[in-house]
Each structure stands twice: as C-alpha cells, then as structure tokens.
Amino acid sequence: MKIGFIGLGEMGLPMAANQLKAGHQLVVWNRSAERAVPLMEAGARLAATAADVAVDVDAVLIMLADDQALRSVMDGGLLAALKPGTVVVNHATVSVDYARELAAAVGAQGAVYVAAPVFGRPPVAQAGQLNIVVAGDAAGIALAQPALDAMSKRCWNFGVEPERANVVKIAGNLMIASAIQSMAEASALVRAHGVEAADFIGMMTQTLFATPVYSGYGGMIAERRYEPAGFKASLGLKDVELGLSAAGKSRVSLPMAAVIRDALLDALAHGAGDQDWAVLGDVAARRANLGAS
C-alpha cells in the first residue's frame, strides 16, 4: 500500500515507522524535516511539501496537534492536491465542528475522509498497540484498514459520521482527565494527614483501581514524574475545552470538565504546559498548601 504520513511528533513518528515495518511504501512530511531522518534511513521518502505527500498514494494519514495545525496544512495546499479516491485518515483530536467541515471539504475533492483518533501514549504507538476509533465512509475505512492494522491493537467503528469518532475520543480523554484529577485531589488529602502519596496510590492501584490509567498516571503523580511528557498539559487543556465546546452546543452539562479545565489553566499559569498532564498532582498539592513535593 502507498501511504503518505503528515506529522512526525511523539505519536506520529512511531505510527509512521510501523507502516514501514508492515511493508508499506511511505512518503512523509513534517514541519521540522530532521524528524524524518530515522524514517528515511528505514526506506521512507521525504516530501518537499505537505501537498506533495498526496501526489501518488492510496491514503494520507495525518497526526497533528489541533484544529489550527491541521487547517494550516489542509488549506496550505494539501486539500487541493488530493486525488479522487484517495483516503484521508485524520488521527488528530479535532473539534466536532471541524471534523464535519473536513469531511465536506475532502469529499468535494472526490477524496474520502475518515476520522481515526487514537488512544495510547508513545510507547503504545511504538509497539503498534493503539486503540483506534474510526468513523466515516465504510469503503474508505476498508481501504485504509491495512494502514490502521499496522498501528493498532484494535479498531473501534462508530459509524459513518466522522465526527462521532472525534466525540468518542474527546469523551475518553475527559474520563482520563477525571481519573488524574481524582488521584491528584485524593493524594493531596492523604498527604495532608501524613500519608505518603506513593503508599496510597500503590494500594489503590493494586485493589480498587487496578487499571492502566490509574496505575500509570498514579505512579507519575506519586513520583512527580512529569517529563518527558507522554501527553502535554497544554494538549490536555485543548481536549477538555473541545469537550466543553461540544457539550455546550448539545446542551450537555459537564461540571467535572470545567473543574479540570481550571486546574489545567493553573498548571499552564505556573509554566507546566509542556509537562505531562499528570502535573495536575502538583496543582492539587499547591492548592492544599503542601508545596510541590
């Protein structure tokens, strides 16, 4: 399969590498070309522009940070370069509104749009074990399936409206953020009474909350291990705000999301935007006058 890949960040790079491991032909583009060097050494070709990625491929896979980054690439030439029948697979977590807009714009070019946001941190992406949420044209998903299989443990199909995949991803991230916030607050409470956060988190994640999200993020909170970031606090804030925006338009109340947004704003105000969003542990400790440790 001929695959184009745009966006070689902490997630995009291992996702693209797995396309090569699966035997697909790969052309890539990234704003910082040096990110593509490992892929080029493994057989990928570097495109001069994002638009050039779409010249001779079956599918264009995109992993960018947000609506703004994706819009700049699409409007900067990629959209106009799409060929009829090409499948555009967007792995980025974007707003529900932009997902609808993208589907229409890509369709107007005769191409097919598939939303496919992912669950999993960089090590999971490297292992090809992502959970991918897909929605869009069934034929387009089928065409892209070999590329999706190269990166995933499982694909979860949520229907033909692409925005459904995005709202599932946003809602899932809200659940993760709620887990982090609850552990942050609970850890601050026990610390205020002389209990070590590591002891508390250790017990909880081996009993009532023995799941990857709680054990992974709980360990980070207990150890104050927020770098390197698997998912930056700034991106967490973006996703929480996407959830609040989608909720407002559908008249859904999300009080917990509002609390988490304010906590993430606190983190960013204290210069922690590039740290992992588990840094909410420090926010809760600071608010409880426990200091940063």
Write the single-letter amino acid at 251. R
pLDDT tens figures, 189-201: 999 999 999 999 9
Catalytic residue among 169, 232, 238, 249: 169
What are the φ/ψ torsions at residue 142 (nearest 5 degrees)?
-65, -40
Residue 292's pLDDT band, with cuts at 50, 70 and 90, is low
| Segments of the chain assigned to CATH 1.10.1040.10 | 167-287
Q: Are 50 and 5 in contact (CB under 8 A)?
A: no
The closest alpha carbon to 285, from 226, 213, 234, belongs to 226
pLDDT of 88 over the 50 cut: yes
User: What's the chain's average pLDDT?
Assistant: 97
The runs of H, that is alpha helices, within the chain are 12-21, 37-41, 67-73, 79-81, 96-108, 122-126, 138-149, 162-192, 197-204, 212-223, 233-249, 255-269, 280-287
**Per CATH, which fold does 167-287 belong to?**
N-(1-d-carboxylethyl)-l-norvaline Dehydrogenase; domain 2 (1.10.1040)
Two structure tokens written together for 207: 């009993």
Q: How far apart are CA 257 and CA 175, in angstroms?
A: 9
Share of the chain above pLDDT 90, in %: 99
In Å, what is the CA distance from 199 to each residue of 189, 190, 194, 283? Answer: 13, 10, 11, 20
Share of the chain above pLDDT 70, in %: 99
pLDDT of 293 over the 50 cut: no
The SS3 assignment for 243 reads helix
In Å, what is the CA distance from 87 to each residue of 29, 79, 104? Answer: 17, 12, 13
pLDDT tens figures, 250-281: 999 999 999 999 999 999 999 999 999 999 99
The pLDDT of residue 291 is 77
The pLDDT of residue 105 is 97
**Per CATH, which fold does 2-160 belong to?**
Rossmann fold (3.40.50)
Q: How far apart are CA 71 and CA 74, in angstroms?
A: 5
To the query of whether residue 169 is one of the catalytic residues in this protein, the response is: yes
Instruction: Give the distance from CA 133 to its chain's centroid.
Output: 11
pLDDT tens figures, 31-46: 999 999 999 999 999 9
Which pTM value belongs to this model?
0.93
Number of neighbouring beta carbons within 10 Å of residue 287: 13
With a CB cutoff of 8 Å and minimum separation 6, the contacts of 144 are 59, 61, 87, 89, 114, 116
